[in-house]
Amino acid sequence: MKVAFVFTQAPYGSSRVREGIDALLAMSAYCDETDIGVFFLHDGVLNLLAKQQAELLLQKETSAMLKLLALYEIEQCFISQEDVARYQLTDQSLLLPVKILEQSALINRLRQAEKILTF
């Protein structure tokens, strides 16, 4: 993996998540999809919730942008088992298929990246 995109922010607190997704999709035009890893950590896992109601906050949903990852064939998406337990997530509640890893395995994957971009 050459580039890791790490999302640690909740979806609607700032524009960082939207900017990160834009950068991720742009990077996919220049890299092979196997060179890109996407990590959702801590509050960042909230971006993966399928039933968001951004319009209540007068925001645009980021979930539509995240669904483009499948179209761009970006399949290396990871979350930690600890965050799954903390937020009581299930496969049905998630927008994308992700690989659930123990915290240590997730950190090892991140260490393999040449560049890490955090949003």
Residue 57, pLDDT > 70, answer: no
Domain CATH code at residue 103: 3.40.1260.10
- Least confident among 39-43, 56-60, 92-96: 56-60
Residue 56, pLDDT > 70, answer: no
Domain count for the chain, please give it: 1
Domain span at residue 37 reads 3-118
d(CA 88, CA 14): 24
d(CA 96, CA 49): 9
Which tokens hold the place of 46?
A: 């909230």
Q: What is the mean pLDDT of residues 68-73?
A: 92
pLDDT of residue 55: 59
Burial of 5 (0-12, 13-18, 19+ CB in 10 A): buried
Residue 12, pLDDT > 90, answer: no
Residue 66, pLDDT > 70, answer: yes
